[in-house]
Amino acid sequence: MEDELRDPKNFLEYFLPRPLRLAFFGGSAASCLIASLITAVQLIQSPALELAEGTTARDLIVNIIGLATFTGLFIYDQKQAAVRVERRREIREAQIAFGDREVFVNDQGEKMSRLKEVNDDWIVRRLERWGKRDGMPFVGPDKGALLQQLVADKAPRLVVEVGTMAGYSALLMAQALPPGGRIVTFEKDLSWALAAKRFMWQASQGEKNQGVSSRVGDRVSVEWGDAREKLAGVLQRAGGPGCIDLLFLDGTPKEYLDYLRAAEPFLAPGALVVADNAGVFAQGGLKPYLEYVRGGSGGKYRSELIACKLEWRDDVDDGIEVSTWLGSGSGSGSGAAVEGSKAASGVA
């Protein structure tokens, strides 16, 4: 938002800043006006409007054109400045309405406004406005509230997410984590991974968070790379088998089953696996995944669909599939992981 209050710069701004521009246009218009008047008087005073001591009617026309041009440029520049002032006023008012800017009275008794400190709430609101305006596939506030509830109920030590994008869902989950909880989130697109890292850093700024040992953005590690390739290596270092308490899948729908299979050795007993878009993609890319968690895995999961709306669309039904990891009854190797995690975490 701060950026939006800055004047757009063009090359003219660098060569001729506004005060110089106004002095140049105004001075040139004034000198053209004076020259036009002098030329006109000389022409009128000369007998039969003939040549008057080297002054021609052409000089008069040139001076009048100069006067019109410089006056036009002067007025145009003034109007553009007024447009910018009005735009800044609109942005300030919008920021106050959104709660991003606060009004205060300064030492001289003048009413002023200033941007509030950047913190996690501020970043979440900003991402929501962006998501709503441009229809970004962030989970959105309604599904986000569901996700936060699941995290709050589960109180996970480690959440793993596939599909960070700008970090909206990661931030929401981070807000609901218990003390000491962490999130590892995978993003294969470098520019999104960098954007998310920036938002996580910003979410850790601000007065509100001062003195808090674990600030919201600091609870999130953004891992750049394809989750199908990186997940096992990163989780081996992050806690090893049985370290995931909650897995949130929001990457490419047809890859969900691959993510799950890669994550299975790291699921803790009773871990929750939450899959986004289980309504809209139920008959498409998510079909094999849903078949797997709803019985095809041979009883590794107990699964249910929580119906909700698609982000930013009240007219489109969607859902999130919430599956509880019951452990591997089929001896696929993940059972050893569960046992290992029980021992490691002290779960009976």
Ligand X SMILES: C[S@@+](CC[C@H](N)C(=O)[O-])C[C@H]1O[C@@H](n2cnc3c(N)ncnc32)[C@H](O)[C@@H]1O
Q: Quick one: 74 or 122, whose CB is closer to ligand X?
A: 122
Q: Please state the closest distance from residue 252 (CB atom) to ligand X, in A.
A: 4
**DSSP assignment, residue 250?**
-
In terms of Cα–Cα distance, which of 283, 291, 226 is closest to 252? 226
Residue 113 β-bridge partners: 103
Q: Is 142 among the residues that bind ligand X (CB under 6 A)?
A: no
Q: Please choose, out of 29-37, 166-174, 283-291, 324-332, the segment that lies near ligand X by the rule CB under 6 A.
A: 166-174
Q: Quick one: 181 or 253, whose CB is closer to ligand X?
A: 253
Q: Is 228 among the residues that bind ligand X (CB under 6 A)?
A: yes
> Are 70 and 22 spatial neighbours (Cβ–Cβ below 8 Å)?
no
Q: Please choose, out of 91-99, 158-166, 260-268, 333-341, the segment that lies near ligand X by the rule CB under 6 A.
A: 158-166
Q: Quick one: 226 or 339, whose CB is closer to ligand X?
A: 226
Q: Quick one: 165 or 174, whose CB is closer to ligand X?
A: 165
Q: Please state the closest distance from residue 278 (CB atom) to ligand X, in A.
A: 13
The whole-angstrom separation of Cα 86 and Cα 82 is 6
Q: Please state the closest distance from residue 198 (CB atom) to ligand X, in A.
A: 14
Q: Please choose, out of 35-43, 233-241, 244-252, 264-272, the segment that lies near ligand X by the rule CB under 6 A.
A: 244-252
> Are 172 and 149 spatial neighbours (Cβ–Cβ below 8 Å)?
no
- One symbol per residue from 279 to 318: x for binding ligand X (CB under 6 A), - otherwise; what is it? ----------------------------------------
Q: What SS3 class is residue 4? A: helix
- Hey, CA dihedral for 342, 344, 345, 348, is it positive or negative? positive
Q: Please choose, out of 61-69, 164-172, 302-310, 336-344, the segment that lies near ligand X by the rule CB under 6 A.
A: 164-172
What are φ and ψ of residue 247, in 5° steps?
-115, 125
Q: Please state the closest distance from residue 225 (CB atom) to ligand X, in A.
A: 7
Q: 69 — alpha (psi -120 to 50), left (phi > 0) or beta?
A: alpha
Q: Please state the closest distance from residue 98 (CB atom) to ligand X, in A.
A: 19
- Hey, CA dihedral for 214, 147, 128, 260, is it positive or negative? positive
Q: Is 253 among the residues that bind ligand X (CB under 6 A)?
A: no
Sequential DSSP letters for 45-89: HSGGG--BTTB-HHHHHHHHHHHHHHHHHHHHHHHHHHHHHHHHH
Widest CA span in the chain: 117
Name which position in 24, 98, 192, 201 contacts ligand X (CB under 6 A): 192
- Hey, CA dihedral for 239, 243, 244, 245, is it positive or negative? negative
Q: Please state the closest distance from residue 276 (CB atom) to ligand X, in A.
A: 7
Q: Is 176 among the residues that bind ligand X (CB under 6 A)?
A: no
Q: Please choose, out of 91-99, 185-193, 198-206, 295-303, the segment that lies near ligand X by the rule CB under 6 A.
A: 185-193
Q: Quick one: 269 or 318, whose CB is closer to ligand X?
A: 318
Q: Please state the closest distance from residue 282 (CB atom) to ligand X, in A.
A: 16
The whole-angstrom separation of Cα 150 and Cα 324 is 12
> Are 215 and 209 spatial neighbours (Cβ–Cβ below 8 Å)?
yes
Q: Which residues bind ligand X (CB under 6 A)?
A: 137-139, 162-163, 165-166, 168-169, 186-189, 192, 226-228, 250-252, 255
